[in-house]
A and B are shown apart, each in its own frame.
Chain A
């Protein structure tokens, strides 16, 4: 993994601006800083302004685990596409797949609520129902290890079994037939007719993008260095995001002038 603002990283970023590239961003932990209460997560005004400016000179999408309605509520982004629920919303996925995911998630919520038991006493643990996927948050719990074990025991009893993706103190439950962020990025590239993409994200749900191969050219970066990650580049922390956005704007504006 190389630092994105190293000599090599800067050259790769520059070469992305020589062609039509799709710039794709995760939301929580990437555009918005991680906060204790996921409901309070929000990109700064400056980040939003820079992202909107970038979308005027290049193709930009946001791919998040949040629902599109939730993203719209908390942001004022004017990007090409807001893709929600790990790719289930915002790309025109088949209606049948959406209906199935909705009914599966409803069943899971009911089952989890019935068996919530002792977790009711912990206000730091809660279910976020995103209609087409669920997120079990425990960031504010004082007994993270114990809660995590209890949650996994409950998840193991769910029918049908979900696809589990771990985030930062959050367990994402996604219907197995649903897409993932990697598929969402490929679909967005195809819809926008672009062969090249840059993607940046911060947690395990983004590994589905980092590990993409094939004929498409995807340059990936992670917020925070992690040896086990498949991302090729990293930025040190979320607060470097605005620096990255400014650089991308500069490079793509320059392309427009040549």
Chain B
């Protein structure tokens, strides 16, 4: 396989992933990353952004942007740490929980319908 065709496959894969993410956000209210963040946060109520960043393996500055979007969606709330006003704590909101549930029940269909699986197959990444 030449470099050009290999790169073109990866680019198409990346675009397919981008479209999957966009589709998820417009149909289900959350992108994949947002879903993952909320899912982790559900099990870490009252945690600090730093602790969440470590848990999801994300750089704190990238996390800040995602948290801002999720806050706008009222999926989580950010408050001052009751013991240290310089720090913040995060928790999932009821709206966030509902988004998580909506995403979990609708994602499989979205995944099947989209072009993403074709691209995965094309690259030979699909395990079964």
Q: Is the CB of B45 within 8 A of A196?
A: yes
Bound Cα distance from A12 to B89, whole angstroms: 10
Q: Pick the contact of A19 from B42, B93, B101 — CB < 8 Å?
A: B42
Among the interface residues B45, B77, B89, B94, which one has the most CB atoms of the partner chain A within 10 A? B45
Asked if B31 lies at the interface with its beta carbon under 8 angstroms from chain A, I say: no
Bound Cα distance from A215 to B93, whole angstroms: 22
Q: Is the CB of B101 within 8 A of A11?
A: no
List residues of chain B with CB under 8 Å of any chain A CB.
42-47, 77, 79, 81-83, 89, 91-94, 97, 101
Asked if A233 lies at the interface with its beta carbon under 8 angstroms from chain B, I say: yes
Bound Cα distance from A48 to B81, whole angstroms: 32
Asked if A173 lies at the interface with its beta carbon under 8 angstroms from chain B, I say: no
Bound Cα distance from A195 to B47, whole angstroms: 12
Main secondary structure of the interface of B (DSSP, over half): mixed
Q: Is the CB of B45 within 8 A of A15?
A: yes
Q: Is the CB of A18 within 8 A of B83?
A: no
Number of interface residues of A (CB under 8 A): 19
Known contacts A1-B83, A232-B82, A258-B101; A196/B91 CB under 8 A: no
Asked if A76 lies at the interface with its beta carbon under 8 angstroms from chain B, I say: no
Bound Cα distance from A35 to B97, whole angstroms: 42
Report the minimal beta-carbon distance from A182 to chain B, rounded to whole angstroms: 16
Q: Is the CB of B83 within 8 A of A19?
A: no
Known contacts A18-B42, A18-B45; A11/B83 CB under 8 A: no
Bound Cα distance from A230 to B44, whole angstroms: 19
> Chain B residues near A18 (CB, 8 Å)?
42, 45, 92, 97
Bound Cα distance from A232 to B85, whole angstroms: 12
Report the minimal beta-carbon distance from A216 to chain B, rounded to whole angstroms: 10
The 26 listed contacts between A and B (C-beta, < 8 Å) are A1-B82, A1-B83, A2-B82, A11-B77, A11-B79, A11-B91, A12-B46, A12-B89, A12-B91, A15-B45, A15-B91, A15-B92, A15-B93, A16-B45, A18-B42, A19-B42, A195-B43, A196-B44, A196-B45, A217-B45, A217-B46, A217-B47, A219-B45, A219-B46, A230-B83, A258-B101
> Chain B residues near A2 (CB, 8 Å)?
82
> Chain A residues near B91 (CB, 8 Å)?
11-12, 15
Bound Cα distance from A258 to B46, whole angstroms: 22
> Chain A residues near B44 (CB, 8 Å)?
195-196, 217
Report the minimal beta-carbon distance from B77 to chain A, rounded to whole angstroms: 6
Asked if A14 lies at the interface with its beta carbon under 8 angstroms from chain B, I say: yes
Q: In chain A, residues 224-247, which have Cβ atoms closer than 8 Å to a Cβ of chain B?
A: 230, 232-233
